[in-house]
Amino acid sequence: MIGLKRDQVASAKRIVVKVGSSSISGDNSDQITPLVDALAEAYGRGTEVVLISSGAVATGMPFLDLEERPNDVATQQAAAAVGQNVLIFRYQESLDRYEIAAGTVLLTEGDLLNEPHRSNTRRALNRLLDLRILPVVNENDTVAVYGLRFGSNDRLAALVSTLISADLLVMLSDVDALYTKPPHLPGAEKLDVIAADDPLTDFEFSSSGATGVGTGGASTKVVAARLATNAGTAVLVTSTELAGAALRGEHVGTWFEPVDGEDERALL
């Protein structure tokens, strides 16, 4: 498979978009509207779009009168159960403006790594896309068991991208791109393009998110990007506010060049 080039983004046939919790929950819940605008624009030109959305726990927290992400598993599960319902309602309410229907897909790690669950998941996602439904995918935080979790939705997004042979994975967060070191530190420089064979040994990537509601960071995005690019899917890392520009093919964010040729072993 010949990997997607940066100047071909607008013509990509299948795109996976991942958005982090802090970008669409709490004070930023109103960012769902411009995000949906960007997804709908791509959808409108015929692109198949899958949204990987974090945020179930963060969205559910206010309904449980929680100011911080809970530490115990049971309360996290309760917040996820409430928040997932609210989150998909907000997405569908915004998608209604474009007469686009969302389909909720909640996954555990075994659904993507073990047969026959893996094949069933691929078939379900492909059928939703065939029917012009926009899948909204998240980890099933209400039932997922520690030790058998994705670790972050960045990894979930990479695994889904490879499962359905997406042309492009766009990972959105609060930062406009990846930097040579955490962007608040002196001397941090924006990374424009990362070649498929770049070992990335000279850079310092943070291992945690900037807020208390998410679980990802720059390092998880790099690992997920490598997982996807090794299977032939190009990756773009940028901020949620630049989602529209990213999906139109404008030169934003950090571009990970894909490895030519798809290798299913990259999933393991």
Answer yes or no: is 174 a known binding residue. yes
Tokens read off for 209: 């998110």
**CB 153, CB 54: distance < 8 Å:** yes
Q: How far apart are CA 155 and CA 225, in angstroms?
A: 8
Residue 54 annotated as binding site: yes
> Is residue 153 annotated as involved in ligand binding?
yes
Q: Residue 186: phi, psi to the nearest 5?
A: -60, 140
Please state, in angstroms and rounded to a whole number, the distance separating the CA atoms of residues 114 and 107.
12
Is residue 18 marked as binding? Answer: yes
- List the structure tokens of 146: 């520690």
Q: How many CA atoms lie within 13 A of 89 on its CB side?
A: 7
What are the binding residues for substrate?
A: 54, 141, 153
Numbered residues of the known binding site for ATP: 18, 173-174
Residue ranges of the binding site: 18, 54, 141, 153, 173-174
